[in-house]
Structure 1
Amino acid sequence: MSTTAVPTAPPVSPARPGRRAIGALGVLALSLGTLQSVVEPALPMLQRELGVSPAEGALVSNALLITGAVLAPVAGKLGDRYGGKRVLLWLMAVVSTGGLLAGLAPNLPTLLAGQVLQGVMVGALPLSFILVRKHLSTGESQAAIGVVLALFTGGGIIGTSVAGPIAHALSWQWIFALPTIVILTATAAVARLMPHDPPAPSDERIDWLGVALLSVTLLALMVGLVAVTGGLPPIGIAAVVAVVAGLATTWVFVERRAASPMVDLRMLARPAIRSAFVLTFITSVAFGMVVLLLPQLFAVPGDGHGFGLSTTDIGLLLLPGAIAGAVSDSIGGLAARRFGSRAVVLTGIGVTAATMIVLSSLHDAPWQLAVAKVLAAFAAGAGTTALLAGTASTVDAKDTGIATSLLVVTRVFGIIVGSQVAGSILVAGTDPLTGLPAEPAFVTGFLVAGLITTLSIFFLRRNGARS
């Protein structure tokens, strides 16, 4: 007796997002970057309107930074487990609530609460990376990651530019309300257009103890960095180091024994991944030094080695560098796809090192500093984006969110540390007669930034950053 074979259905390939879906994701990144950056230029106005001191006003911007650094890895891990789109939509509900709360805030505590909720927006970056990694090819995802980062950075430029005009034409509340309205619209478009990414199949429970320990460790580190920047005494710095080291050691101990750890430490131990984290930190430290040194040199009175420029003039001179940083994020992803992340990182390191060394002896005109900012921002942006895109395509798909979120946090930490190092150099080189940083202090700062960047070349050659 013969049997008839029943034809089996071909496997169903996952739906690919169309251009409108990627566009909606890009608009969301742009509006998030805008909302993140509106506080800094409007801070003096917020202090006057709310009747708070500069120290209290600083809490407004620091609250978002701290929350973002702490929760980004958590969001990435949850996205790996439950799906990037699902977690992204929940995250945007929290961000939108924070934006609306800040837009209606009658006092500082309410505004701070809104900023804390908005801070979770940093987690949108690794969640976006999860989506493009799952739905696009390796080359396409590397390019898309660069575009998302570029739009997020571009949103920062928009927020810095429009915050003042909006606040003066309407009120300061609208600097939070308008970007939030765009976020709500873009989130609805992502929900409708972006294909669902299924949760990772797993019977293992989430390592909530590891999640809590990593969050507390990052919180202690962020608060410690902010405190150090505010002039913490040496004994306080030692206490911060001891607390962070103790928490980090405990977290590693727990992760090594967890059945399903929050972070697979074996993944972090891989040479390519380890190199990506180290190089991201080194590059970001050098760029953080540039971010602080250049405005300070612009502002030093012009009868000495500075130029005595106004805040408006400084902003105009630094604007091309900000634009270059946004463009470089997009180009970094495309270049990583075409040439490999190693080549892009090495080029960025070389450009940054050469720029800083030249700047240490050639800083007699404002245009020289403006060009240096363009070169440094472009090199740093392209290099760190290439590392991010390369890491996203190197790790297992189930680890995309946690790996990229930790790299994003490393980038933030590096910039903060670099700013602190540069500030310490300027303080040490202050002229006791004028109370202003002397020219040798700036020269030292540029040389240190160049030296730090140059050392990363030797690290790259010794350890390698695989494409």
Structure 2
Amino acid sequence: MTTAPATGSMRRLSPRVVVGFLLLCELASGFAQGFYPPLLGEIADHMRVSDADITWFLTVQTLGAAVCVPLLSRLGDVFGHRRILRIAVVAVIVGGLLTAFAPNYETMLVGRLLTAPEAAWLPLEIALIHNRIKGDTARSSIGLLVSFLTGGLILGTVASGLIAGAMPSLTATLLVPVVFGLVAVYAAFFKVPESTERTRVRIDGIGFAGIGIAMIALLFGLHLASDAGFGAPSTLITLAVAVAIFVAWVAWERRSESPAIDVRMVVSPKLGPAYLASFLFGMVLFGTQTPITTFLAADPAEVGYGFAAAPGTVSAIMGLLMIMATVGAGAFAPIARRIGMRAVLIAGAALAAGAWAFQIAMHSAMWHMYLFALVGGIGMGLLMGALPALIAEAAPSDQTGIAAGIYNSLRTLGGAAAGAVFAVLLTAFTPVGELASSVGGYVAIWTFSAVAFVVVAIALGTMRIADGEAVAGEADTDTHELEGATR
């Protein structure tokens, strides 16, 4: 591990100013992620593509992120997190411009692929913060990063339809997240100091290629499973290839002197439980969004459950869930200062498990759904803020970027796995000749979610976590050190 000096006028920036600009980066990132999905129908009409083809607008970015996140996070540990963040920010801006001005759908998909590095912004920013700030101050900053990301997601989703109706063309509409993202360019190039620690390793090209190919194959296989089921030959072949590549990759990484990802670190008692929790959390967080929407929209006169909810009502409940998650992520650090990090993590998992258990027992009145969103959102928000902060604290100081990147990748992988598993569950409970699942399919998903958070609570309860006055003391010391370094 080596130390690189801070340079330029950025030495004079206070920690709060630096964190503030990183928060604006995550706000822009969340805005873009929330902005595009409501426009898929309009994009499909404009490009004259089918409903099946338009799904690739989001899928291609997810697959690209599977490669970008571990690669860019690790390169940040080696060459500097700000340097790699700059590359990622520029790639996203170029991709956004190409998406807006694309003359055909194929070019638009290339643009979407170029925006994939956006998923690496958060791990790189976490590493930038944790490189200089420790303890409670770092926890608060990371919690705010997640809050601004989630808040940006809500803002982008709400603003998308309003802006589309006011713009003269689709191109003008698609330029909005690009303009919004220019603040990230300004922050990365002019307002964020470089990280000071480097890991001195040889770049493991084979390792990065292996994990990238394995992730793409696995995500694509899960995408096939959500459409055709796990028993389809195409699904089985793709998943088998993914598993074979992953096994070979693990064997290579265990023998490598400078692995792309330290497998022993990932499965160690120090970090393994947190990564297991991240995967399960991603399954529920991302995998249940569609089932919640379809349950609310189901007509009870036809299928015996649901509320025939209008899009506005569905948005209100999903919005409440995300707003409370934003609050929980931002509030976890002050709460942890009082009751300890372990208690916050377990409380978040317990609240989320309780919300899903309540959903199993009570789902016949609209107030049940609002109460579920209120409690579940807070619980999941606490985990959204606390988990990346915990992983950054537990990781070696010269591997913070890749440690946070693995967290992001596992959440994404969990969401993809849940999408396929939950689709199979709903199909299994769909009566022959019918299009809608019985309520048993939804109860099965809610049961899975409740059990997943119970496992999360148990896994996190086994970890050794720094708590109490030592952390507060660290925060004060590290903040003073940072202020001295940035003056």
**Is the TM-score greater than 0.5?**
yes
Are positions 1:373 and 2:370 aligned together?
A: no
Is the Cα contact below 8 Å between 1:35 and 1:176 reproduced in 2?
no
Q: Distance in 1 between matches of 2:433 and 2:248?
A: 48
Are positions 1:84 and 2:81 aligned together?
A: yes
Is the Cα contact below 8 Å between 1:425 and 1:444 reproduced in 2?
yes
Show the counterpart of 1:48: 45
Q: Distance in 2 between matches of 1:157 and 1:302?
A: 29
Q: Distance in 1 between matches of 2:443 and 2:264?
A: 41
How does 1:53-452 map onto structure 2 within 5 Å?
A: 53-170=50-167, 171-198=169-196, 200=198, 202=200, 204-232=201-229, 234=231, 235-303=233-301, 304-336=304-336, 339-432=339-432, 434-452=434-452
Is the Cα contact below 8 Å between 1:275 and 1:465 reproduced in 2?
no
Q: In structure 2, what residue type is equivalent to 1:410? A: L
- Please identify, of 384-393 and 280-289, the stretch whose mean Cα deviation from structure 2 is larger: 280-289
- Aligned CA distance change for structure 1 residues 187 and 267 (closer, same or farther; 3 Å): same
* Root mean square deviation, CA, Å: 2.2
Q: In structure 2, what residue type is equivalent to 1:375? A: V
Q: Distance in 1 between matches of 2:123 and 2:198?
A: 16
Q: When the two structures are aligned, how many residues end up with a matched partner? A: 455
Is the Cα contact below 8 Å between 1:280 and 1:384 reproduced in 2?
no
Q: Distance in 2 between matches of 1:168 and 1:150?
A: 28
Secondary structure, aligned partner of 1:431: coil
Is the Cα contact below 8 Å between 2:274 and 2:459 reproduced in 1?
no
- TM-score calculated relative to the size of structure 2: 0.88
Q: Distance in 2 between matches of 1:453 and 1:65?
A: 25
- Please identify, of 379-388 and 332-341, the stretch whose mean Cα deviation from structure 2 is larger: 332-341
- TM-score calculated relative to the size of structure 1: 0.91
- Please identify, of 12-21 and 230-239, the stretch whose mean Cα deviation from structure 2 is larger: 12-21
Q: Distance in 1 between matches of 2:334 and 2:213?
A: 36
Q: In structure 2, what residue type is equivalent to 1:386? A: A
CA deviations 1:230-285 (Å, max 9, x no partner) are: 22451333223321211111111111222211122232232020000111112332
- Please identify, of 164-173 and 144-153, the stretch whose mean Cα deviation from structure 2 is larger: 164-173
Report the CA distance between 1:125 and its aligned residue.
0.8
- Please identify, of 73-82 and 408-417, the stretch whose mean Cα deviation from structure 2 is larger: 408-417
Is the Cα contact below 8 Å between 2:6 and 2:194 reproduced in 1?
no
Higher relative contact order (CA 8 A, sep 6+): 2
Q: Distance in 2 between matches of 1:364 and 1:386?
A: 33
Q: Distance in 1 between matches of 2:17 and 2:429?
A: 53
- Aligned CA distance change for structure 1 residues 205 and 165 (closer, same or farther; 3 Å): same
Report the CA distance between 1:430 and its aligned residue.
1.7
Q: Distance in 2 between matches of 1:17 and 1:346?
A: 34
- Aligned CA distance change for structure 1 residues 41 and 207 (closer, same or farther; 3 Å): same
CA deviations 1:378-417 (Å, max 9, x no partner) are: 2123124312101101211110000110001111222232
Report the CA distance between 1:337 and its aligned residue.
5.3
Is the Cα contact below 8 Å between 1:321 and 1:377 reproduced in 2?
yes
Report the CA distance between 1:151 and its aligned residue.
0.9
Show the counterpart of 2:469: none
Report the CA distance between 1:181 and its aligned residue.
1.8
CA deviations 1:91-128 (Å, max 9, x no partner) are: 11111100111111222112111111111101111110
Report the CA distance between 1:27 and its aligned residue.
0.9
- Aligned CA distance change for structure 1 residues 439 and 92 (closer, same or farther; 3 Å): same
Q: Distance in 1 between matches of 2:269 and 2:458?
A: 15
Q: In structure 2, what residue type is equivalent to 1:19? A: R
- Please identify, of 12-21 and 98-107, the stretch whose mean Cα deviation from structure 2 is larger: 12-21
Is the Cα contact below 8 Å between 1:38 and 1:175 reproduced in 2?
no
Q: Distance in 1 between matches of 2:198 and 2:456?
A: 36
Identity of aligned residues (%): 25
Report the CA distance between 1:188 and its aligned residue.
1.6
Q: Distance in 1 between matches of 2:384 and 2:182?
A: 29
How does 1:5-20 map onto structure 2 within 5 Å?
A: 15=11, 17-20=14-17
Q: Distance in 2 between matches of 1:403 and 1:60?
A: 28
Is the Cα contact below 8 Å between 1:166 and 1:172 reproduced in 2?
no
- Please identify, of 184-193 and 158-167, the stretch whose mean Cα deviation from structure 2 is larger: 184-193
Show the counterpart of 1:8: none
Report the CA distance between 1:333 and its aligned residue.
4.4
Report the CA distance between 1:459 and its aligned residue.
3.8
Show the counterpart of 1:26: 23
Q: In structure 2, what residue type is equivalent to 1:74? A: L
- Please identify, of 340-349 and 161-170, the stretch whose mean Cα deviation from structure 2 is larger: 340-349
Secondary structure, aligned partner of 1:230: helix
Report the CA distance between 1:434 and its aligned residue.
4.8
- Please identify, of 122-131 and 366-375, the stretch whose mean Cα deviation from structure 2 is larger: 366-375
Report the CA distance between 1:57 and its aligned residue.
0.5
- Please identify, of 207-216 and 373-382, the stretch whose mean Cα deviation from structure 2 is larger: 373-382
Are positions 1:454 and 2:451 aligned together?
A: no
Report the CA distance between 1:289 and its aligned residue.
4.6
Q: In structure 2, what residue type is equivalent to 1:230? A: D
Is the Cα contact below 8 Å between 2:82 and 2:194 reproduced in 1?
yes
Report the CA distance between 1:25 and its aligned residue.
1.2
Q: Distance in 2 between matches of 1:110 and 1:465?
A: 49
Q: In structure 2, what residue type is equivalent to 1:189? A: A
Q: In structure 2, what residue type is equivalent to 1:279? A: A
